[in-house]
Chains A and B, each alone.
Chain A
Amino acid sequence: MDNVLETKGMFPVFRRSGSETRTTHYCAGCGHGIVHKLLSEAYTELGLQDRTVIVNPIGCAVFGYYYWDVGGVSAGHGQAPSMATAISRLRDKAIVISYQGDGDLAAIGLGHTLQAAARGEHMAVFFVNNSIYGMTGGQMAPTTLIGQKTTTSPLGRNPATDGMPLHLCELVNSLRLPVYVERVSVADTARIMQARKAIRHALEIQRDRKGYTFVEILSPCPTSVGLKPLDAAKFVIEQMEKEYPLGCLRDRSAEAPARPEPKPWVRLADFFGDDGREAPRHEAAEVKERHFKFTGFGGQGILSLGLVVADAARALGLETTWLPSYGPEQRGGDAQCTVVTSTHLIGAPAVEHPELLVVMNQAACGKHLHTVRPGGLALVDATVRVDPAEIPEGVRVVQIPAIDIAAAAGVPKAANVAMLGGLIALEALGIPQHALVEALERSFAKKPALIPLNKQVLQAAIDHCRHHGLAGELP
């Protein structure tokens, strides 16, 4: 084996910076040169050269693009499968190759390797396994053999402290979507012939749009393994092949379905139903900003109540913000949201001192009642005990049995809608009833069957307020 390449599909002069030579940067006896040659022969003979993009790894093959006359991209360490994923998804006519060594693919990149294989990405992975980190100076790799000496296992790999070798073909073969998995070797001529077939077959599968292929190539690394070239090849045959038996683990290329052609793009205006018309804008000379806060616990429909109010306001052309509590308390704890409406651009969407507070449980009352601004209104469910001493100066508290009204109508989940009825009766929002009812209907766009029942609850709450003389505008 020498380190001079003469092959179709490669650059006539290697694109090595400042060098006019056809000598590779690989050590004498290195397997990479052979694999490079087999790969470039394969994509050229299959007529795929123009369509091929090779993602170059970190490791000794980092400079693969010196030689391969195809599209070249450099990956971050272990990330070639991630990059190849995106290229192949977005350029479905490209033949995408991830060429990686064992440190890159099996150590730092193992997760990405398996995830891309599990997703069945359309890419050909060529995994050059030489049992050691080459470029960084002969350190132990996940594929280092038991007892093998490296610069980070000077006494030999000890399973007790260094674990056992990883078998990549077998790992990939445990997944469902890979189409073709084979382990070959380039340690002698007969083996190279088999490797040539495997590499070619992997590219045929890419050409035929069949899916993910994984070819592991056992390869000599005389420099880092610390052997003369011929002995390094012997090491592959006599030791590595014992741990990593050669052979085809899977070939489903005949039965695998071809990747479908991508769907055409949909015009966005059509998708969003944009008719080009602008919503009416609410014109007013004087700035009038209103601050509402809705509180209770998760599951009471607090956020949706605020959303109906916000949606009604914005449909009138008002500037509107809706800010929910989000995160863990959404799941069962306190829930609250704030709504600000204005005739002019709104500053903070968070509300410190609301002019209207809606309270649907006891905890929210204790937490929020004191924040209502003087002259404001708190609409509180009747199940909540309001301590008169806690009502701030100048704040009106109105209690209605929203939870009971909804339960009586057979829709306990609609207590928030009953609260909305209360707000309508009290004219507390400065938003006309029809706008609120329309927003309520829009909120049930996906479950229109529920609209009549909810409107019944809404009316029951309005009637309750009128019956009890609870009406009139916000002070």
Chain B
Amino acid sequence: MTKFVKGNEAVVIGALYAGAEGYFGYPITPASEVAHKAAEYFPATGRVFVQGESEDAVAYMLYGAAAAGCRALTATSGPGFSLMQEAISYMSATDIPTVIVDVMRAGPGLGNVYPEQADYGQVVHGGGHGSYRCIVLAPGSVQEMCDLTMLAFEKAFEYRTPAIVLADGQLGQMMEPLRLPKEEAKPVDTAAWATQGTQETRRNLLTSIYLDAPAQEAMNLHLQEKYRKMDRAFQRAELYRCDDAEAVLLAFGSSARTARSAVDALRAQGVKAGLFRPITLSPFPIDALLPLAGKKLWTVEMSAGQFRDDATLHLAKAGKLAEIGLINRMGGMLIAVTDIVRTVKEAL
């Protein structure tokens, strides 16, 4: 069945089909419709909805939910995500799976409610304290708001680590047709580690304190090994018209939608353009990007170049020094297809 819904609603539908048992919410534009729909759908289907008193409280509610072995989620936007960082660090250190959706708005500070992608740094690099990072998925359509929320649950529980769905105001607010998932995810068995209030799980303990430095280091090494495993096994990217491309735009989320239009417009004008769209921002899909390193590259992004700098670094670590151009807007201004086309044509 197809429903015509906002990206924010698609998140809730994806979470339900992923087997989410609880939604813990706090309002913030442009993510609030996620909480609105969750408040409607979760209780009506026998699940739990709680409005917390702040984003930090909500993030700890997620920690509590996952500690009890349950699938739960929340959605927020930049300022709220900043407040959740402490709990995300705790959850990462405790091998706790959870899902948080960040519907980015413009910043820094209070900013405004229009789309930006400048939470990239704080989300992709694990913005809290300590050497951790999360799984980060970047949907590019309303359908993916649903599908990647489901995937986020699957991978969070597979690796036992927080997974973030990094969207933006445009993806959250726009409506597109959504094909409902075919089936509901099977419940996962968490008795081996969770504290469920049962005899079987009575001896389970979830903590992140290691008073001895060697033990704390071992715990850090364990995390890094987990991230290496993720890097090897779970990179995703979409390539659009890249095969014969001379100019390749790198973009995620709603910027990738704009970039896709720009690619078509450039092709119509005889320019061999392509689009590289990371679907996993962490793990970074370096394997798919590496073969494009010799082409003319630009990122198209709504930030000062956080994604560009990261892509440059990933290529450099893989042994390719590439100069990546930056086509960007900030403050909630949308990137115009015509600006991308002009920039690329001028450079070629």
Contacts and interface: CB of A to CB of B under 8 A. Distances in A.
Contacts of B203: 69
B145 interface: no
Contact of B64 (A73, A268, A326): A73
A152 B69 CA distance: 41
* Interface residues of B, dominant DSSP: mixed
Contacts of B180: 268-269, 272, 274
Contact of A72 (B1, B41, B177, B195): B195
30 contacts: A50-B197, A70-B202, A71-B195, A72-B205, A76-B86, A76-B90, A83-B60, A86-B50, A87-B64, A89-B50, A91-B68, A94-B68, A95-B197, A265-B46, A266-B44, A268-B45, A273-B1, A278-B1, A279-B2, A279-B177, A314-B2, A314-B176, A319-B176, A322-B174, A323-B170, A323-B174, A327-B112, A347-B258, A347-B260, A348-B337
Given A65-B205, A73-B207, A94 B64 contact: no
A340 to B, nearest CB: 10
A345 B70 CA distance: 36
B47 interface: yes
A368 to B, nearest CB: 15
Contacts of B199: 50
A86 to B, nearest CB: 3
A272 B17 CA distance: 11
Given A51-B198, A266-B45, A324 B173 contact: yes
Nearest to A72: B205
Interface residues of A, number: 76
Contacts of B114: 327
Contacts of A76: 60, 63, 86-87, 90
* Interface residues of A, dominant DSSP: mixed
Interface stretch (B151-159, B208-216, B307-315, B316-324): B208-216
B209 A62 contact: yes
Interface residues of B, number: 83
Given A79-B60, A349-B254, 14 more contacts: A18-B212, A72-B206, A86-B65, A87-B68, A90-B48, A94-B197, A265-B47, A272-B13, A319-B176, A321-B174, A323-B175, A327-B30, A347-B260, A349-B176
B211 A17 contact: yes
A263 B44 CA distance: 9
B29 interface: yes
A433 interface: no
A37 interface: no
A264 B22 contact: no
Contacts of B16: 268
Contacts of A253: none
A262 interface: yes
A263 B46 contact: yes
Contact of A85 (B3, B64, B113, B261): B64
B34 to A, nearest CB: 14
Nearest to A328: B113
B53 interface: yes
Contacts of B65: 86-87, 89-90
A267 B181 CA distance: 13
Contact of A348 (B13, B24, B44, B261): B261
Which of A73, A74, A271, A345 has the most CB atoms of chain B within a 10 A radius of its CB? A73
Contacts of A83: 60-61, 63-64, 67
B175 A71 contact: no
A90 B216 CA distance: 31
B72 interface: yes
A49 interface: yes
A20 to B, nearest CB: 16
